[in-house]
Amino acid sequence: MTEGNFVDYIKIYASSGKGGRGSAHLHREKYNAKGGPDGGDGGRGGHVILRGDKAMWTLFHLKFKRHFRAEHGGDGSSNRSTGKDGSDVIIPVPLGTIIRDADTDEILFEITDDQEDIILLEGGKGGRGNWHFKSSTNQTPRYAQPGIDGIEAWFRIELKILADVGLVGFPNAGKSTLLSVLTAAKPKIADYAFTTLKPNLGIVEYRNHQSFVMADIPGIIEGAAEGKGLGHYFLRHIERNSLLLFLIPADSDDIKKEYEILLNELKKHNPELLDKQRLLAISKADMLDDELKTEIAEELPEGVETLFISSVAQQGLMELKDKLWSFLN
Ligand SMILES: Nc1nc2c(ncn2[C@@H]2O[C@H](COP(=O)(O)OP(=O)(O)OP(=O)(O)O)[C@@H](O)[C@H]2O)c(=O)[nH]1
Ligand SMILES: [Mg+2]
């Protein structure tokens, strides 16, 4: 899919490096033909490491490079020289990345902290050189350990969005338009349902160079939790948002009802979603005159703060940002 910058899961193949061989070298000098064993140890094979990176927001960088091989360890050599450790492969991933075993689907790790390192696959240990095996009965062992093999495996790397604000609304509610006016993101916008097929993220610049992240997900419809439309697949992405911004267009036939349906879908998907802070924006408010606005204002759902906005006419957007910011902090 070409739309959006969003890749939410990807399968990767990784292999760690094999440990280097221990050396079975016997020391020889001009005047000492029977020198002792002096074979060094093999170096460790490289690890495959995942590193949390707070500057990343997607798995897009993994889309075109899915194979990761760490270097093998170097072999040991004479003079008890240890082989070089194989270089590790470090894969940067956004915070909120989950790593599953590709076969069993079991969650192996979750990366939540910046610069957090997780060894996905450990490199094989280097073999020990022959001098370790010298004993009273065998002064010149010609034996050294081979290195231990690396490991290879497939993983499924998955991303839960860590956006602060998740947009929730029916298709066509104006979610992508809002994202496009509040952030530098350029999501596709059109006058039909399910324009957005994949989540889009944008950074909302706020006063004094502060910012927060907003996620636009595909529209949710009645029955979404049972698999209708596309929203169900993406509902899990709003599980981590600290705030849900509901968007209902001003020309909705029944704002209250629409709000109830949205809440109900979230609840069916995961009841904990209802514990999140939420805010309701009546979008496309440029279509309302004062009279209609007053009329609508009297019939708004209870128990949620509501404001009127228009992305097109740039109305209420600063108030919206202020409100979002104060909720987030
Ligand atoms: N009048 C008016 N129209 C708007 C406003 N915001 C969005 N629209 C229009 O509403 C339609 C849908 O907008 P989108 O932003 O694509 O809606 P969406 O919620 O992202 O829709 P899906 O991706 O299908 O879920 C487009 O034709 C927009 O031009 C607004 O503030 N005022
Ligand atoms: Mg959209």
The domain limits of the chain are 1-160, 165-328
Q: Is the pLDDT of residue 236 over 70?
A: no
- Residue 284 Cβ inside 6 Å of ligand 1? The answer reads yes
| CA 188 to ligand 1: nearest atom | 16
DSSP-derived 3-state class of residue 108: strand
Which runs of consecutive H residues, i.e. helices, occur in 111-254? 175-182, 231-235
325 Cα to the center of ligand 2, angstroms: 23
31/242 Cα distance (integer angstroms): 77
- pTM reported for the whole predicted model: 0.63
Q: Is the pLDDT of residue 5 over 50?
A: no
Query: Which pLDDT score, from 0 to 100, does residue 161 have?
Result: 61
- Residue 77 Cβ inside 6 Å of ligand 1? The answer reads no
Of 52-56, 108-112, 192-196, 258-262, least confident by mean pLDDT is 192-196
- Residue 196 Cβ inside 6 Å of ligand 1? The answer reads yes
| CA 197 to ligand 1: nearest atom | 23
* Region 129-138 average pLDDT: 93
172 Cα to the center of ligand 2, angstroms: 7
- Residue 169 Cβ inside 6 Å of ligand 1? The answer reads yes
- Residue 176 Cβ inside 6 Å of ligand 1? The answer reads yes
Cβ 215 vs Cβ 201: under 8 Å: yes
- Residue 287 Cβ inside 6 Å of ligand 1? The answer reads yes
- Residue 310 Cβ inside 6 Å of ligand 1? The answer reads yes
Question: Among candidates 20, 72, 16, which has minimal Cα distance to 41?
Answer: 20
Cβ 234 vs Cβ 216: under 8 Å: no
* Region 162-176 average pLDDT: 89
Six-digit token pair at 82?
A: 């240890």
Residues 6 or more apart whose CB falls under 8 angstroms from that of 38 comprise 25, 26, 27, 78, 79, 80, 129, 130, 131
230 — pLDDT class (breaks 50, 70, 90): low
How do residues 195-209 score in pLDDT, each as one tens digit?
877 778 788 888 877
How do residues 63-109 score in pLDDT, each as one tens digit?
888 999 999 999 999 999 999 999 999 999 988 899 999 999 898 99
Q: Note residues around ion ligand 2 (Cβ under 5 angstroms).
A: 176, 195-196
How do residues 31-63 score in pLDDT, each as one tens digit?
766 778 999 999 999 999 999 998 887 788 898
* Region 130-159 average pLDDT: 93
Query: Which pLDDT score, from 0 to 100, does residue 29 have?
Result: 76
4 — pLDDT class (breaks 50, 70, 90): very low
Mutation probe of ligand 1 site: the residue of 168, 176, 177, 195 with most atoms within 8 A of C-beta: 177
250 Cα to the center of ligand 2, angstroms: 17
| CA 287 to ligand 1: nearest atom | 1
Q: Is the pLDDT of residue 123 over 90?
A: yes
Nearest ligand, measured from the Cα of 219 = 1
Chain-centroid distance of CA 264 in Å reads: 27
Six-digit token pair at 240?
A: 């981590």
- Residue 175 Cβ inside 6 Å of ligand 1? The answer reads yes
Instruction: Supply φ then ψ for residue 121, to 5 degrees.
Output: -135, 125
Class of domain 165-328: alpha beta
* CA-nearest residue, atom 16 of ligand 1: 189
What does pLDDT average to over the chain?
A: 89
Query: Which pLDDT score, from 0 to 100, does residue 237 have?
Result: 67
List the CATH code of the domain at 1-160.
Answer: 2.70.210.12
